[in-house]
Amino acid sequence: MKSAVIVFPGSNCDRDAARALERLTGKPATMVWHKDTALPEGLDLVVLPGGFSYGDYLRSGAMAAKSPVVREVTAHAERGGLVLGICNGFQILTETRLLPGALARNAGLKFACKEVPLAIANANTAFTRAYREQRETEIPIAHGDGRFVADEDTLARIDGEGRVVFRYLDNPNGSARDIAGLINDRGNVLGMMPHPERASDPVLGRTGGAAVFQSLMEAA
């Protein structure tokens, strides 16, 4: 699998994502600066990593969504290429409208940083196939703007279409319908607030997110 990780000013999980990809796929990920106007040829996967792009100025992900390289990420997604947005990356995906809804301030207005139990709501996607034998997993979160919000029609549609991939079992941020991660209508773009790269190696003491990367390798 050929992958790239986009680096924005304020990204702080880009190297973590790249190391997880290299460890689980055996191939190094290409690091792409946000001002680049092209992606490497032949990519299978683009990762928008966690962090605080542009210091979360205006809205989380709003300024990063205007970066030159994001146009190429959008084109990659429209061609059917795989895109994974983690935490701040999820926020960027909603700002670009590659995913519906928005990520608002956590209920209670406090930063949430802990390991959370998740239900695997759809194990039949390019991002979750390796979870087929599991109903639950645990992956850490670290965000202040992680409460997923959308109008009722949108929530009903994404639920009805099976596009909710992960749900919180102990909702830490007040997300509508406990949504922790969802895919687009084509199934090739996933946004999730939990950090699978932080739970992908036994050395880290947790492996609940490894199946995300294993699933992508299988899909690619």
The predicted-structure confidence for 165-199, as pLDDT tens digits, reads as follows: 999 999 999 999 999 999 999 999 999 999 999 99
CA distances from 32 to 20, 36, 37, 39, 44 (A): 16, 7, 10, 7, 14
Counts for the chain of helices (H) and strands (E), in that order: 5, 11
Question: Average pLDDT, stretch 107-133?
Answer: 96
The answer to whether residue 87 is catalytic is yes
CA atoms within 13 A on the CB side of 181: 32
Q: Which of 34, 72, 143, 197 is catalytic?
A: 197
The answer to whether residue 197 is catalytic is yes
Rounded CA-CA distance 173/65 in Å is: 23
CATH of domain 3-219: 3.40.50.880
Rounded CA-CA distance 194/219 in Å is: 21
Rounded CA-CA distance 116/68 in Å is: 34
Predicted TM-score (pTM) of the model is: 0.96
Predicted local distance difference test score (pLDDT) of residue 220: 80
Predicted local distance difference test score (pLDDT) of residue 141: 98
The answer to whether residue 113 is catalytic is no
Q: Which of 76, 87, 95, 143 is catalytic?
A: 87
Confidence of residue 24 (pLDDT cuts 50, 70, 90): confident
